[in-house]
Structure 1
Amino acid sequence: MTSPVDLPEMLHYMAPFVAFQDLLACARVSRQWHRFFTPYIWYSIVVPEEWSNDAAFPPLSVLEKNAHFIRSLTLKASKGLSSFFRHCTGLKTLVVFGEHVAKPHPDLWDELTDLIRHNASIEWIIFGFSLSNAPSTAFLKALPEACPNLRRYESSQGRYDDPEQVEALMQAITRLSQVSSRYEYFVNVPTVKRWTFPHLCELTLKDARGLGTQTQVDLVCQCPNIRLLKWTVCRETFFPVQEFCARIPAACPRLCQLQMDGCGLPDPDDIGRILDSLARLEQLMLCGSSITRRTFRSLGRHFQTLQLLDVVDCFYVKSWMVQQILENCENLTKLTSSVLLMRDIVAGKDWAAVGLKYLQVNMVPTKSFAVSIEEQWMTFEQLSRLTQLQHLATGPRSWTPREGLLYRMECGVDQLRTLTKLKVLIMGKSWQRMSKEDLAWMTGHLENLTKVEGIFHPDWDQHLKLSDGFRECGIEVQVIERPDLLYSGDLMDDGEDDFAEYEAEEEDEEDEDYEEEEGEEGDDQDEDHYADPQQQQQYQQHYSQVDELAEDNDVPGDIVTGAGVHAGTMGTEANADPGPRAVDAEHTPRVLQ
């Protein structure tokens, strides 16, 4: 009698969830399992730089024998692999980066052109250069015909200095739906108004040097069906706010997802003007920008349609703003922001964003070392309304002696029994005061919890015991080093002075915002505003503040490296490594090294 696990339907269901080493073991169980699991073992290959001298990497003969199983191929080297390329006939994803493209051997682009001609099924191509070269003109010209299923093209740090090369690139893009260009250099670019990109729905332009802002506006306007725009201009350039507002909403009526940072936006109200120009907004991701009262009013126009909002690294985001977002954005599924004071939760209305799946906000009590049970209890009460939550982060991202939301029974943590879908819980980088009873409740009632992170108790030995308790229940605990704050003199500070200073600073900022609004209400900025030398100096000062934030958050998806797939954050680019970036974790291929 055939075992149920031998049924093809069962094997097809299990295989995608099996780790690579376990796949190897499964392939040795029987001939049937060997035939079934071999394609999964070879689904994705990463060719290391010194592949011929790497004992852990398969020899060329084995590569050629199994090449037809490969669906995702990542090349950190290519020399000596031309015969292997000819056996690859079923690729869906091609990733090329490393020293061999920075300093290519003479036949590289001829070999890659031949490779794509044998793989009409390719859907996604990723290149990573080092500002020294880019795909050859012959390769780009071959793309449309050789890869009719190609929908996604990503390139970083390429240098396009041949007009014919740029012409071939633009022609290839006309058939694509997703295009990403990051830190690239263009020379002698002809007008882009000659092309139309009717299929393009996602466009990323980051630090496109050699492309003037007017040319970039023209490019975006030639994408009538674009929905997602990720756009950052070079630091020396002003963002074309007026051109954006005047042209892009009319030319791109479906644009509803926007990602930007503060580069080139010297006026803190510029983001508000951009938001006012858009008819509908579903996703907004900002980094290093200012959220003034005027900008927040403009954001309020989109509360009913907003589904994703990321302002965690923006300036002047007030607690009351976060509370109003939670009260009014009924369709919100993801929110990342900075601070939400528990006093605003207590004084506010019930949260309407009950469909949230991802929430990252530092929830701060009014008094640091005199915890208000009422504040804690009502905060947990509001969290209990978010029954769809899968990822919850409620603490600070940097170490602080200030207590935050305490996951204790006496504070109301048992109200979270409604969060049956919660998988990840991040308590932040401040200490908890959990007990064994709190641990028992969490592991017994949060059945889908797979990962926790935090300092569970000020006593480090107690923290380690609680960590072991989570692990015994099959829950991953993020390993952290013992922070100095746990045994420094900072713990002797009652925290009251710090909070009073925080409140005074917040009130001063609100007064400044109000004064700015009174002086500028209803005034539009003319072009001379951006040409003013004093305004240019303000811009340089502003950018010096946001530059670090923009660089640190330039990783919007997963980074495919030789070691495997590593989770990233907002944006997609590692500055030190010109390697490829895969922005969709769900579709990032399994990596075999």
Structure 2
Amino acid sequence: MSNPLDLPEILGLIASYLSIKDIRTCVRVQKSWRSTFEPLLWHTFIYPSSTKQKPKLVLVRQNAEHIRSLVIDRTEPTYLATVFRSCRQLEEIIVRCHFSELGRPSAAKDTMWSCFQEMVRENRNLRAIVLERTSDFGYRPLPRHRLLQALQACSKLEVLQTAECQFNSNLSQSYFQAISPNVKRLSSVLDSFQGFKVPRNLVFPNVRHLDLRNAKMPSRTQLFWIGCFPNLESLTWELDRSVPTTRFCQLLSGCSQLKALGLVIPNGADAMTEALAVAPPLERLLLGGSGFKFPSFQTLKRHALTVKEIDLQYLWNVTSALVQEILCLCPNLESITAEDLNYRDIVKGPWACRNLRKFDVGISVDRGSMNAEQLHTLNQYVYRRLAELKNLQCLSICNNGCGWEGSVYSLNRMMKVSSNAGFEQLQALKDLRLFSCKLAFDETLIIDEGEQLVQWMINHWKRLEVVEITLKVSNHDYANLNPMRRKLRRMLRARDIQVIDSKKSAEYTCDFAGDFEDDNIEVRM
């Protein structure tokens, strides 16, 4: 009887549970495995890759049939034109080109984008296309028009996301036609619509997820456009003062299938209160940067039994006591993001949300108001409380708002990251993939526990992928710690653990909590 591990069907099933790192290892085991595992390494092609050398074009041509997801972070016309010509089995395209890369129009760029548009047209199984910072497409009108025409050929397109694109009135009709009947997720962030007109009888019954953040279009036109999507399950929008709150609330109350609401209402606490009062029971609430007062919190309680994700970042009126009450009231909560949760509030009651997968809350402590014994007891208690959240995948316990970066005041407000403080109780978090303590790690280095704790993380968190800690000098007085910082970075990288410098944390998104939007649409951003 043959070995089951020699059967491609068995190997393919095993591969579905493996990380890229594990797949690379399997490729090296034996030749018979290579034919099964190697194509999986090409499933997602990212340019430029994290490695220093880009794949040779001959390899790209040989393996293009295995590429299902194409991610472009930088333009290199000659190289990418060949990539675009070769890929004909794509299911997802993501373009993230920065403005600094635009330069002047050239024949090579024109050829590259012509190949891109042809690639879009030829990949009939394309399910998702994401265009970010894509003024490359718009240095003259023709490429944009041809691109929209190419999108119309994608009958299976389910995701269409654009950002910082420009659409004039002549392109409106082509844009609407590009939203195929199968599109379920539509995103237009910072797009400019000049002379954009929405036909009166326009309806998109299959769109479930709509994101119109900062779209450059009259607000009343946006409001009318939102009304064209009667079956929305998630809506993300910025509500400015020119939009009648009553009209928006009427529209919101009619969205009976709505499960997720992302609102930015600057200085609009009353509007937030009204919106939360009329919305159906929600699972996701993303309210970062909005006005928020106590009445808003009272209406938020309507959603306490259904909410799974809540983002209260940059809501300065949200107090530590309110964050604690949310943790106590929401039994199904899986993800929470907030600025501050103080030790003294944490001890007031048990948390109801034992299924949390993402905890991104700055835990603060007033060290000056308690003696050493009290502080030690509270440290132990808070770590014990966090250890109870055994399903956590993402744990961030320090924000950037505790004080000036690297200052004594900042360190005195942050949770202590130390074995003596009870940190090792977190060994219960077996599924942890991201850990962040940002600047609080400065103190860990000062008391000479950095190497010990990093080794502890490696030994106990076997699924750890990302660590966000201070490994760069934040204060000239600590420059003598540089050799240790470099050693810790090498230790983590040796285990393929990505190190995120805390100073870049604003650019990093912790998205390990999962996607609560259905339809099995996965777009990696």
**Once the 2 structures are TM-superposed, how far is the Cα of residue 469 of structure 1 from its aligned partner?**
5.1
Q: Distance in 1 between matches of 2:122 and 2:83?
A: 12
**Once the 2 structures are TM-superposed, how far is the Cα of residue 160 of structure 1 from its aligned partner?**
1.0
- Secondary structure, aligned partner of 2:288: strand
Query: Is 1:67 aligned with 2:58?
Result: no
Match for 2:172: what amino acid?
Answer: V
Query: Is 1:36 aligned with 2:44?
Result: no
Q: Distance in 1 between matches of 2:22 and 2:84?
A: 26
8 Å contact kept, 1:305–1:331: yes
Query: Is 1:115 aligned with 2:106?
Result: no
- Secondary structure, aligned partner of 2:304: coil
8 Å contact kept, 2:268–2:292: no
Q: Residue 179 and residue 12 in structure 1: after superposition, are their counterparts in 2 closer, same or farther (change >3 A)?
A: same
**Identity across aligned pairs (percent)?**
24
TM-score under structure 2 normalisation?
A: 0.76
Q: Residue 460 and residue 358 in structure 1: after superposition, are their counterparts in 2 closer, same or farther (change >3 A)?
A: same
Per-residue CA deviation, residues 74-108 of structure 1 (Å, 9 max, x unaligned), is: 45345587676555331111234545798475555
- Secondary structure, aligned partner of 1:305: coil
- Secondary structure, aligned partner of 1:588: coil
Q: What residue is the counterpart of 2:498 in the other structure?
A: none
Q: What residue is the counterpart of 1:497 in the other structure?
A: none
Q: Residue 557 and residue 358 in structure 1: after superposition, are their counterparts in 2 closer, same or farther (change >3 A)?
A: closer
Match for 1:148: what amino acid?
Answer: S
Q: Residue 199 and residue 19 in structure 1: after superposition, are their counterparts in 2 closer, same or farther (change >3 A)?
A: same
**Once the 2 structures are TM-superposed, how far is the Cα of residue 375 of structure 1 from its aligned partner?**
3.4
Q: Which of 178, 181, 187 is matched with 1:172 structurally? A: 178
Q: Distance in 1 between matches of 2:104 and 2:188?
A: 17
Q: Distance in 1 between matches of 2:274 and 2:324?
A: 23
8 Å contact kept, 1:334–1:358: yes
8 Å contact kept, 2:187–2:212: yes
- Secondary structure, aligned partner of 2:412: coil
Q: Distance in 2 between matches of 1:238 and 1:111?
A: 44
**Once the 2 structures are TM-superposed, how far is the Cα of residue 46 of structure 1 from its aligned partner?**
4.0
Within-5 A mapping of 1:124-139:
124-128=128-132, 129-130=134-135, 132=139, 136-139=144-147
Q: Residue 286 and residue 173 in structure 1: after superposition, are their counterparts in 2 closer, same or farther (change >3 A)?
A: same
8 Å contact kept, 1:458–1:486: no
Match for 1:260: what amino acid?
Answer: L
Unaligned runs of 5+ in 2: 480-504
Within-5 A mapping of 1:11-26:
11-15=11-15, 17=18, 19=20, 23=24
Q: Residue 268 and residue 65 in structure 1: after superposition, are their counterparts in 2 closer, same or farther (change >3 A)?
A: same
Q: Residue 407 and residue 568 in structure 1: after superposition, are their counterparts in 2 closer, same or farther (change >3 A)?
A: closer
Match for 2:524: what amino acid?
Answer: T
8 Å contact kept, 1:156–1:182: yes
Q: Distance in 2 between matches of 1:330 and 1:405?
A: 25
Q: What residue is the counterpart of 2:320 in the other structure?
A: 319
Stretch moving more, 252-261 or 321-330? 252-261
TM-score under structure 1 normalisation?
A: 0.68
Q: Which structure has the higher relative contact order (CA within 8 Å, separation 6+)?
A: 1
Query: Is 1:242 aligned with 2:238?
Result: no
Query: Is 1:227 aligned with 2:233?
Result: yes
Q: Residue 463 and residue 7 in structure 1: after superposition, are their counterparts in 2 closer, same or farther (change >3 A)?
A: same
Q: Distance in 2 between matches of 1:31 and 1:487?
A: 51
Q: Residue 370 and residue 136 in structure 1: after superposition, are their counterparts in 2 closer, same or farther (change >3 A)?
A: same
- Secondary structure, aligned partner of 2:131: strand
Q: What residue is the counterpart of 1:287 in the other structure?
A: 288
Q: Which of 422, 429, 436 is matched with 2:439 structurally? A: 429
Unaligned runs of 5+ in 1: 431-453, 489-551, 559-566, 571-583
Query: Is 1:58 aligned with 2:56?
Result: yes
Q: What residue is the counterpart of 2:350 in the other structure?
A: 350
8 Å contact kept, 1:223–1:252: no
Per-residue CA deviation, residues 116-160 of structure 1 (Å, 9 max, x unaligned), is: 33221111112231264576334423434x322210011111111
What is the root-mean-square deviation of aligned Cα atoms in Å? 3.9
Q: Residue 247 and residue 20 in structure 1: after superposition, are their counterparts in 2 closer, same or farther (change >3 A)?
A: same
8 Å contact kept, 1:47–1:77: no
User: Which has the larger Rg?
Assistant: 1
Q: Residue 331 and residue 74 in structure 1: after superposition, are their counterparts in 2 closer, same or farther (change >3 A)?
A: closer
**Once the 2 structures are TM-superposed, how far is the Cα of residue 311 of structure 1 from its aligned partner?**
0.8
Q: What residue is the counterpart of 2:389 in the other structure?
A: 386
Q: Distance in 2 between matches of 1:80 and 1:461?
A: 48
Per-residue CA deviation, residues 312-338 of structure 1 (Å, 9 max, x unaligned), is: 221111121112111111111111112
8 Å contact kept, 1:401–1:486: no
8 Å contact kept, 1:192–1:215: no
Q: Distance in 1 between matches of 2:230 and 2:264?
A: 23
Q: What residue is the counterpart of 1:459 in the other structure?
A: 446
Q: Residue 412 and residue 231 in structure 1: after superposition, are their counterparts in 2 closer, same or farther (change >3 A)?
A: same
Q: Distance in 2 between matches of 1:363 and 1:80?
A: 47
Q: Distance in 2 between matches of 1:273 and 1:109?
A: 46
Q: Residue 102 and residue 349 in structure 1: after superposition, are their counterparts in 2 closer, same or farther (change >3 A)?
A: farther
Within-5 A mapping of 1:360-439:
360-368=360-368, 370-371=371-372, 372=374, 373-397=376-400, 399=406, 400-402=410-412, 404-406=414-416, 419-430=429-440
Q: What residue is the counterpart of 2:338 in the other structure?
A: 337
- Secondary structure, aligned partner of 1:361: strand
